[in-house]
């Protein structure tokens, strides 16, 4: 009696895993483009720096925590950055693609700690807040190196950092609570 599985079944199994990972990567790319479109066209009438982080970080944190792919936040934020680089260069902020890549890389590095500590919601919210707050910190570094003054720093240096932190924390907290309840 032959108990070995035929080669065709094993190759089909590997092919399905590859297809599943490719489909998930495609979903991450589409989620990043969707987050960029939502951020670009859904304007909130508040005059607070970082307010668009509510929607963007909600999408980014949700897909990054649900994904099995390491670097999911970087893939999602990178596709959003690519969208802004290709389609929205005339929007006025030429640093937006770079800032989104920094946000995705920061969230990926902070999600490593989130996985190690049994996935608490508050640590996820802190990771989202710190990653969204990298936007004004990166702008502050660029401003110090190039002497370019950004509009968001007209009301002070700490104000945009605090508002970005609050909006990132709120969005990641909502995503964490929703994932804890439904996922």
What are the pLDDT digits (tens) for 84-100? 888 876 566 778 888 89
| Residue closest to 54 by CA, chosen among 178, 182, 172 | 172
Q: Domain for residue 39, yes or no?
A: yes
Tally of domains in the chain: 1
For residue 139, is it within any domain?
yes
On the question of pLDDT at 5 being above 50, the answer is yes
- Whether 4 maps to a domain, the answer reads no
- The band of 58, judged by pLDDT with boundaries at 50, 70 and 90, is very high
Residue 2 has pLDDT above 80, yes or no: no
What CATH code is carried by the domain that includes residue 146? 1.10.1760
Q: Give the residue numbers spanning the domain of 145.
A: 9-182
**How much is the pLDDT for 14?**
47
Q: Examine residue 1 and state whether it is found in any structural domain, yes or no.
A: no
In the prediction, which pLDDT does 1 show? Answer: 56
The answer to whether position 124 is within a domain reads yes
58 within domain boundaries? yes
């Amino acid at each position: 009696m032959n108990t070995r599985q035929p080669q065709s079944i094993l190759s089909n199994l590997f092919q399905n895993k590859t297809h599943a990972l490719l489909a998930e990567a495609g979903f991450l790319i589409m989620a990043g483009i969707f987050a960029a479109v939502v951020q670009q066209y859904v304007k909130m009438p508040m005059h607070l720096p970082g307010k668009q982080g509510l929607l963007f970080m909600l999408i980014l944190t949700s897909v990054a925590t649900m994904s099995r792919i390491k670097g999911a936040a970087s893939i999602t934020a990178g596709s959003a950055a690519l969208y802004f680089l290709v389609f929205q260069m005339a929007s006025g902020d030429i640093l937006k693609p770079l800032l989104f890549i920094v946000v995705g890389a920061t969230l990926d590095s902070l999600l490593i700690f989130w996985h190690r500590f049994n996935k608490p919601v508050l640590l996820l919210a802190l990771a989202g807040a710190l990653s969204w707050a990298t936007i004004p910190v990166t702008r502050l570094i660029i401003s110090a190196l190039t002497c370019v003054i950004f509009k968001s720093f007209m009301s002070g240096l700490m104000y945009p950092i605090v508002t970005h932190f609050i909006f990132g924390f709120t969005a990641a907290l909502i995503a964490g609570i929703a994932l804890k309840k439904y996922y």
